Structure 1
Amino acid sequence: MITTIVQFLRRDVTRGVVGTILLKVGSGALAFALFSLAARTMTPDGFGIFATWLSVAQIAAVVGLVGQESLLVRFLNEYQVGDRPDLAKGVLLSSLKIACVAMLIAIAAVALVANLRGDWWLLILTVSAYTAVSAGLMLGSQIARSLVSILMGEGNREFFWRVIVVLFLLAMLFGHKQLDPTELIAVMTMAMSLGLIVQIIAIARALPDLRGTTARSERSRWRSSSFHFWVASILEVANQYFDVILVYWMMDPATAGIYFAASRLANIFAMLSAALYTFGARRLPSLYFSKNHGEFERTLRLMAEVTALCVAAGLALIWIGGPYLLNLFGPHFTAQHSVLIVLAIGTAIQAAGGPSAAILQLTGHERIYVPVVAANVALRLVGFVVLIPWLGVLGAAIAATVSLALTTVALNILCRRRTGVDPSVLVLLRSSAWKRGSYAVRGADSAE
């Protein structure tokens, strides 16, 4: 067994997937520390307001990027494989211009709505700044991931800046000082700005010298793909953050904070999905466009092996240690263990489904991906309206899990039909069955 494990870990794909997962797990642990410390340094209502505005800012950042972050992953890989620096330069310049203009519009819209609500001007200013910097990190991480490394892309987006914020919150907690949402969002914005600066410098050094290259464009292709990427990104971020806004609106700030805490803990599986997407977005497109089908399928199979192990371990952790983890946010969070379990089941199913969304989007099938995610959002909204008045925050968790499970099944069916590959952990069962059948045939041949 030890020899098998060692051989498993020596595989290049395994090391890449495990390294990416460890980065995501580290980022998730820091996010957990950040939110639990924030809950303990704020009032229950203050934490709920902070969680709600954070969700609004994340949605606004994705809306303002208009799909350019996914567009860059899609076409930079294609142009690198095809040795087309002219088109690579063209798509980079085009995406940066579009994202800057659209982001200004999105930030202005958020500020206008907040002003009409009568929110404090300093809170509006900090949320606007946070939205802009968050969008910059999203876009920069995609470029850095393709041109530099996953560590530079995802590390600066999710890991390094959180260390600064966690240290700040620890100082506030030990100093017995209470924060308001505006102060914490301002600190997060400043820490993220440092990460964005490092990211920009790394990208500038990694970019080939394109000053003498004439930029060329494929605007019709870019426009069509970016629209579908944009809609898909909006729907995905709505799945992650719109729940909190709805709970805030339909119930109260304190309950929104509780749901936010439980959903962040359940995201232990969403982190796995994000790690698979991150690794897949860097490795799978180049294999697909170079028509290396054998390595493409081998990569997916090894990713499924890592996923199965992580899902089993994660479910055990949530089931046994859930109350202790919730208690880190505060004693009143512990009673929501059932909410955490329900949410974790949904995100575990999503993780077990593998990177089907990434494969569909990055192999040119993004158009069929959008309706499925739209149906997921619609189903979740209906579930919230029906179940929250009946079951409260548990109803919200049930609605989220059911919609997520159905969407995962639908995406996997589409992925198998359109690309011919199964990205889920079920591929391991079929592989085992095939091997047993092969051994049976060999045994029969030997007997003859």
Structure 2
Amino acid sequence: MLGSILQLMRRDVTRGVAGTILLKVGSGGLAFVLFSLAARAMSPEAFGDFATWLSVAQIASVVGLAGQELLLVRFLNEYQVRGQADLTKGVLFSSLKICAVAMLISIAAIAAIAGIRGEWWLLIVSVAAFTAVNAGLMLGSQIARSLVSILMGEGNRELFWRVAVVLFLIAALFGHWQLDPAELFTVMTVAMALGLVVQVVSIARVLPILRSVSARSETSRWRSSALRFWLASILEAANQYFDVILVYWMLDPVTAGVYFAASRLANIFAMLSAALYTFGARRLPSLYFSKNRREFEHTLQLMAEVTALCVLGGLVLVWIGAPYLLGLFGPHFAAQQWVLIVLALGTAIQAAGGPAAAILQLTGHEGEYVPVIAANVVLRLVGFLVLIPWLGVLGAAISATASLTLATIALNVLCRRRAGVDPSILALSRLLSPKAGAYAVRATESKE
């Protein structure tokens, strides 16, 4: 067993996946520390308000990007494989212009909503600034990941800035400083802005080759893909952040803070899914567009092996440590251990489904992806309306897990039908069944 694991870790793809997962786990661990410290540095009501406005800002950032972050992943990889520098320059300039306009509209909407609610002007300004910088970091990470490296893209987006914020929160706790949401949003915005500057500099260094070429456009292709990507991004953001807003609205700020903490902890598996997406978004499109199907499927198999190990270990960790992990946020959080366990089960199933979403979106089947995510949002909303009045915050967790499970199954079925591959850990059954493996080889050869 140990020998098999060591052999697995010696493979280049495995090391790449493992390195990306470690980056995501490190950033997720810092996020956990950040939010647990914030919960202790704020009153329960203030932390609930912070969690809710953070969710609003994250959704607004995605809306303001207008699908351009995924469009860049899709087309930068395609144009790089084909050596089309003029189109690379064209899609970069086009995306930046669209994002600038859409982000101004998104920020104005947040300010208007907060003003109607009578929020403090400093909170409005800090949330708006956080939204803009967060969107810039999200867009920059996609460009840096494609043109520079995964570390430059994801490290600046999710890891490095959190170190500064965690240090600030530690100082606040030692100084017995009671924080409010506006102060924490301001600190986070400043730290993220520094990371964005680093990203911009790194991208500028690898773009001199584009200065000698004229930008060329494929506007019709970009528009049709951007609309589908935009809808998919909004729906994904709603899946991830709208839950907290609904719990805040249907219950109270304190419960919203509890649900937020549990959902962040359950993201141990969502981090795995994000790591698979990050690695897949950098490696799989080039293999797909270069028609290297054998290596494409081999990469998916190795990703599934790493995923299976991580999902198993994560489930054991959550099952045993749920009350202790929640207790790090505060004494009143620990009583909701079943909320965490149920949410973790849903995100574990999603992770076990593999990078089906990434494959569909990055291989030209993004149109198939949007209806599934839309149905997921609708099912979750209906579940919230039915189960929260009956079971409270546990009903919200059950609804989220059930809708996520159905969406994962649907995406994997679509991925097998449209892309012809199985991205889930079920693909590992071929290794255990010689007949299944022989059948898979014959099927691959017949397609080739």
Give the TM-score taking structure 1 as reference length: 0.97
User: How far did residue 435 of structure 1 move?
Assistant: 5.9
Partner of 2:175: 175
- Provide the aligned C-alpha RMSD in A: 1.1
Q: Distance in 1 between matches of 2:109 and 2:264?
A: 27
Give unpaired runs (5+ residues) of structure 1: 440-448
Q: How does 1:13-412 map to 2 (within 5 A)?
A: 13-412=13-412
Give unpaired runs (5+ residues) of structure 2: 440-448
Q: Name the aligned partner's letter for residue 268 of structure 1.
A: I
Q: Distance in 2 between matches of 1:56 and 1:358?
A: 24
- Residues 178-226 of structure 1 deviation map (CA, whole Å, 9 limit, x = unaligned): 1000000100000000000000000000124222211100000000000
Question: Does structure 1 conserve the Cα–Cα contact (< 8 Å) formed by 2:430 and 2:436?
Answer: no
Q: Name the aligned partner's letter for residue 277 of structure 2.
A: Y
- Residues 436 and 209 of structure 1, relative CA distance in 2, 3 Å threshold: closer
Q: Distance in 2 between matches of 1:181 and 1:102?
A: 25
Q: Distance in 2 between matches of 1:437 and 1:291?
A: 22
Instruction: Report the 3-state secondary structure (helix = DSSP H, G, I; strand = E; otherwise coil) of the residue aligned with 2:209.
Output: coil
Q: Distance in 2 between matches of 1:102 and 1:438?
A: 51
Q: Distance in 2 between matches of 1:347 and 1:372?
A: 16
The number of residue pairs the alignment matches comes to 439
Q: Distance in 1 between matches of 2:284 and 2:436?
A: 29
User: How far did residue 2 of structure 1 move?
Assistant: 3.8
Partner of 1:430: 430
- Residues 106-139 of structure 1 deviation map (CA, whole Å, 9 limit, x = unaligned): 0001101110111111100000000000000000
Q: Name the aligned partner's letter for residue 240 of structure 2.
A: Q
Q: Name the aligned partner's letter for residue 310 of structure 1.
A: C
Q: Name the aligned partner's letter for residue 19 of structure 1.
A: G
Q: Name the aligned partner's letter for residue 397 of structure 2.
A: A
Instruction: Report the 3-state secondary structure (helix = DSSP H, G, I; strand = E; otherwise coil) of the residue aligned with 1:210.
Output: helix
- Residues 405-426 of structure 1 deviation map (CA, whole Å, 9 limit, x = unaligned): 0000000000000011000000
Q: Name the aligned partner's letter for residue 356 of structure 1.
A: A
Q: Name the aligned partner's letter for residue 288 of structure 1.
A: Y
- Bigger CA drift: 47-56 or 2-11? 2-11
- Residues 68-108 of structure 1 deviation map (CA, whole Å, 9 limit, x = unaligned): 00000000000001110000000000000000110000000
Instruction: Report the 3-state secondary structure (helix = DSSP H, G, I; strand = E; otherwise coil) of the residue aligned with 1:211.
Output: helix
User: How far did residue 432 of structure 1 move?
Assistant: 1.8
Instruction: Report the 3-state secondary structure (helix = DSSP H, G, I; strand = E; otherwise coil) of the residue aligned with 2:33.
Output: helix
Q: Distance in 1 between matches of 2:159 and 2:53?
A: 21
Partner of 1:445: none
- Residues 346-382 of structure 1 deviation map (CA, whole Å, 9 limit, x = unaligned): 0000000000000000000000100000000000000
Q: Name the aligned partner's letter for residue 357 of structure 1.
A: A
- Residues 2 and 385 of structure 1, relative CA distance in 2, 3 Å threshold: closer
Q: Distance in 2 between matches of 1:292 and 1:416?
A: 17
Q: Distance in 2 between matches of 1:424 and 1:211?
A: 42
Q: Distance in 1 between matches of 2:339 and 2:211?
A: 55
User: How far did residue 436 of structure 1 move?
Assistant: 7.8
Q: Name the aligned partner's letter for residue 330 of structure 1.
A: G
Question: Does structure 1 conserve the Cα–Cα contact (< 8 Å) formed by 2:416 and 2:422?
Answer: yes
Q: Name the aligned partner's letter for residue 398 of structure 1.
A: I
Q: Distance in 1 between matches of 2:7 and 2:198?
A: 36
Q: Distance in 1 between matches of 2:102 and 2:125?
A: 18
Q: Distance in 2 between matches of 1:171 and 1:280?
A: 38
- Residues 278-298 of structure 1 deviation map (CA, whole Å, 9 limit, x = unaligned): 000000000000000011000
* Identical-residue share of aligned pairs (%): 77
- Residues 134-153 of structure 1 deviation map (CA, whole Å, 9 limit, x = unaligned): 00000000000000000000
